[in-house]
């Protein structure tokens, strides 16, 4: 019996909204921010979690996981194989007071829950870690989509497989690993003050696509070009100036669709926008991540190294998680 599951967070570098469309590309990575799920024998199934000093309610997500697994395995909550207590520590994913930091907390939790339950079903035995992760990704994706009412799955895949990869969206997404040595270092993170509502953002984007099919296709082509250029710069370990140029193209796509949806992450009216402006003025290659104004990332360019400015207080060092979900 496994006693612990460790799941990294995730970060989308390019492909905001585009990854929710069939064939939409995005570059994503696993972050060294860890959700820890502890498993102990108990007389009945139970769950408790902690998030930013508050309790974490995982009931809806647990129901989604059981429902998805029940389609392939004959299971239910009173099954004695699930008589254990789960404790999820997701403090790395939340600020004090319970505000999400944008590291993919729900995706990490669903990956942890699916891993624990597949292990109890014996579905991870006699499989390599890669084979186990492929099985975890399949069920975690289905459960997360059921929980959210949709979703691309880049977050589930990044947290499951770890490292850095090129994601392709669709009913059955694809994850192609990229060499981490090709990514400029170090990685910095900057936070806003508002948590994004992924479900609402996805619904707004779906409505926009239905109303503007021509613009949607143009956006998808431009976004895919930017993500593929970014992946190519990483794969071939191009100079940081080439990487920064591809990232700038991805930023332009993110700004365009964000403003179309009334969600401008670089608006001077929000905290993240001001921090991004400061980073860019100092010569950093900086961009918002995801659908809201809660998280951005930055890399140093040559001009940032030669700048007379010191690193701003608003950023923190980020570390890539080389490994995806682990269980033992």
Q: What percent of the chain stands above pLDDT 70?
A: 93
Statement to judge: residues 145 and 235 lie in one domain: no
Same domain flag for 122 and 264 = no
Say what the pLDDT of residue 179 is: 97
CA-to-CA dists, residue 23 to 8, 170, 225, 243, 270, angstroms:
25, 6, 12, 22, 32
Same domain for 21 and 137: yes
Residue 221 and residue 162 in one domain:
no
Do 54 and 140 have their domain in common?
A: yes
Can you tell me the mean pLDDT for 239-248?
Answer: 95
Residue 173 and residue 191 share a domain:
no
* CA nearest neighbour of 322 among 223, 209, 179: 179
Q: Are residues 165 and 202 in the same domain?
A: no
pLDDT of residue 1: 72
Compare 265 and 216 and report the one with higher pLDDT: 216
* 174 and 242 fall within a common domain: no
- Note the pLDDT of residue 96: 80
pLDDT at 232: 98
CATH code of 154's domain: 3.30.230.10
How many domains does the chain contain in total? 2
pLDDT band for 185, please (50, 70, 90 cuts): confident
> Are 106 and 139 contained in the same domain?
yes
Residues 84 and 149 in one domain: yes
Are 176 and 135 members of one domain? yes
> What does pTM read for this prediction?
0.94
Which range marks the domain in which residue 246 is found?
187-317
Q: Are residues 68 and 85 in the same domain?
A: yes
**Average pLDDT value for residue range 231-259:** 95
User: Mind listing the pLDDT tens digit for each residue in 203-238?
Assistant: 899 999 999 999 999 999 999 999 999 999 999 999
For CA atoms 124, 126, 130, 134, give the dihedral sign: negative
Per the model's pLDDT, the better-predicted residue between 50 and 216 turns out to be 216
DSSP line for 210-240: HH-HHHHHHHHHHHHHHHHHHHHHHHTT--H
Reported as a single tens digit per residue, the pLDDT across 71-103 is: 898 876 667 788 899 999 999 999 887 788 999
CB contact at 8 A, 30 and 10: yes
Q: Which residue has the tokens 């006693």?
A: 3
Instruction: Report pLDDT for 163.
Output: 97
pLDDT in tens, 141-174: 999 999 999 999 999 999 999 999 999 999 999 9
User: What CATH number is associated with residue 238?
Assistant: 3.30.70.890
**Quick count: other Cβ atoms within 10 Å of Cβ 187?**
21
Query: Taking 70 as the threshold, does the pLDDT of residue 314 lie above it?
Result: no
Say if residue 132's pLDDT is above 80: yes
- Residues 18-43 have pLDDT tens digits of 999 999 999 999 999 999 999 999 99
Rounded to whole angstroms, the Cα distance separating 43 from 319 reads 39
4-12 and 326-327 beta bridge pairing: antiparallel
Q: Cβ distance 151 to 198 under 8 Å? A: yes
Confidence check: pLDDT of 307 > 70: no
Portion of the chain with pLDDT greater than 90, in percent: 69
């Amino acid at each position: 019996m496994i006693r612990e599951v460790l799941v990294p967070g995730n970060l989308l570098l390019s492909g905001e909204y585009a990854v929710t469309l069939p064939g939409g590309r995005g570059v994503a990575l696993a972050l060294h921010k860890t959700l820890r799920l502890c498993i102990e024998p108990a007389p009945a199934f139970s769950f408790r979690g902690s998030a930013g000093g508050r309790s974490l309610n995982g009931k809806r997500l647990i129901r989604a996981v059981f429902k998805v697994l029940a389609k392939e395995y004959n299971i239910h909550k009173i099954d004695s194989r699930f008589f254990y207590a789960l404790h999820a520590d997701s403090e790395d994913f939340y600020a004090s007071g319970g505000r999400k930091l944008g590291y993919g907390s729900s995706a990490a939790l669903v990956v942890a829950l699916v891993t624990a339950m597949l292990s109890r079903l014996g579905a991870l035995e006699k499989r390599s870690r890669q084979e186990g992760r492929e099985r975890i990704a399949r069920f975690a994706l289905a459960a997360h989509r059921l929980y959210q009412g949709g979703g691309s799955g880049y977050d589930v895949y990044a947290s499951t497989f770890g490292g850095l990869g090129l994601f392709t969206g669709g009913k059955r997404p694809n994850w192609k690993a990229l060499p981490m040595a090709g990514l400029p270092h170090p990685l910095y993170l900057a936070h806003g003050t508002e948590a994004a509502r992924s479900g609402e953002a996805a619904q707004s984007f779906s409505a926009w696509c239905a109303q503007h099919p021509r613009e949607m296709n143009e956006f998808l082509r431009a976004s895919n070009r930017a993500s593929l250029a970014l992946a190519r710069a990483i794969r071939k370990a191009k100079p940081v100036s080439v990487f920064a140029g591809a990232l700038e193209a991805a930023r332009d796509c993110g700004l365009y669709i964000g403003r179309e949806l009334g969600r401008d992450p670089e608006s001077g009216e929000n905290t993240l926008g001001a921090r991004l402006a400061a980073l860019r003025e100092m010569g950093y290659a900086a961009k918002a991540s995801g659908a809201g104004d809660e998280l951005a990332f930055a890399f140093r360019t040559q001009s940032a190294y030669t700048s007379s400015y010191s690193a701003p207080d608003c950023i923190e060092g980020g570390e890539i998680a080389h490994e995806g979900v682990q269980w033992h």
